A = this chain, B = another copy of it.
Amino acid sequence: MDIIVLRTDATDEDIKHVVKKLESRGLRANVSHGTERTIIGVIGDTSKVTEEEEDAIRAVSGVENVVRILKPYKLASREFRKENTEISVRGVMVGGKKIPVMAGPCAVENKTVLTSIAEKVKAGGASFLRGGAFKPRTSPYAFQGLGEEGLKYLAEASARTGLPVVTEIMDPRDLEVIVKYSDIIQIGARNMQNFRLLLEVGSTQKPVLLKRGLSSTIKEWLMSAEYIMSRGNHQVMLCERGIRTFETATRNTLDLSAVPVLKQLTHLPVVVDPSHGVGKRDLVAPMAKAAVAAGADALLIEVHTNPEEAMSDGEQSLKPEQFERLMKELKPVAEAVGREM
């Protein structure tokens, strides 16, 4: 809320009104009368000015625009913490030199299939097992996930393979059971601005994988990370998974430039999910390599032993042998940019 631009037709009354408002919040105003516009610079600690106070200024008659210079998030900002945050999950680091891969099916379907996939991705080189027990589906008539039963299968597969588990939460009422059975709590794209849910996971000490909303700006995404962190949980990973654009050749448009942008703005680790980003199996490998080259700290990849029978997102799931090959191909790419797989 640092700079306030007034319209050409703003009156002295309007200017006084703005100045009074600023002073009532402990700030000072530096009014510059230009030939065409009057501009008010705000002096003092504007980081405490909330959005609604900014809105209130904007609502004053005569005000044309309010330009906020300071970032609206703090804990998530690179300025708050200069070093990269590294998150340790049962001994696996996310955000360090090594790039771990989280792999598994979109949805947990049954114990046999899950166990088989878990063993295959472990063999292929994955560091985490992903899988959904609660599934957000656009249709009420579609498979909604196995619920707690699915979580138990995940925990069993984890015990068997040693892979920590990433799974999605959709409802604050499921928090306790998800915390019990998993290692990383995933907030899905459709819940990135489910603010109550963010506060709930923020009050746990579990690492959180926060997916970017379908049409969320990077700034809004960091604000959602700030929600979680504001409750004391600083173990947040940001996961780019494609944004919605006019292009229909891919399921979403994977915004890989978000990776270096985030590396400048925040200290939090950045994960990329090429599977949802493109939505087509054949495109996953090139985009996974591009993600690593762009600086991603981890990857999230869908793998299914029998994609044609998968109950969700089979179209974009790699087969275990494809996953294994990709893992091998990623190795030299990671090394080329000074990282390790």
Chain A residues packing against B (C-beta within 8 Å) = 2-3, 5, 8, 17, 21, 30, 32, 34-37, 39, 41, 43, 45, 47, 50-52, 55-56, 58-61, 65, 67, 69-70, 72-73, 79, 136-144, 170-173, 190-191, 193-196, 198-199, 214-215, 217-220, 223-224, 226-227, 230, 243-250, 253-261, 264, 277-278, 281-283, 286-287, 289-295, 307-315, 317, 329, 332-333, 335-337
A332–B167 alpha-carbon span in the complex (Å)? 35
A227 / chain B contacts, CB cutoff of 8 Å: 140
Partner of A2, one of B34, B218, B244, B261: B34
Q: Which of A58, A226, A243, A247 has the most CB of B within 10 A?
A: A247
A337 / chain B contacts, CB cutoff of 8 Å: 289, 329, 333
Partner of A138, one of B32, B51, B256: B51
Q: Which of A137, A218, A278, A282 has the most CB of B within 10 A?
A: A137
- Sample (10) of A-B pairs whose CB atoms are under 8 Å apart: A55-B315, A59-B310, A59-B317, A243-B253, A247-B255, A250-B261, A256-B287, A256-B290, A290-B290, A293-B293
CB distance from A36 to the nearest CB of B (A): 6
A191–B34 alpha-carbon span in the complex (Å)? 37
Counting every copy of the chain, the complex holds: 4
A34 / chain B contacts, CB cutoff of 8 Å: 2, 43
Taking a contact as CB atoms under 8 Å apart, the answer to whether B253 and A253 are in contact is: yes
A219–B2 alpha-carbon span in the complex (Å)? 24
A307 / chain B contacts, CB cutoff of 8 Å: 59
Known interface pairs A249-B218, A253-B255, A333-B293; A139-B72 also in contact (CB < 8 Å): yes
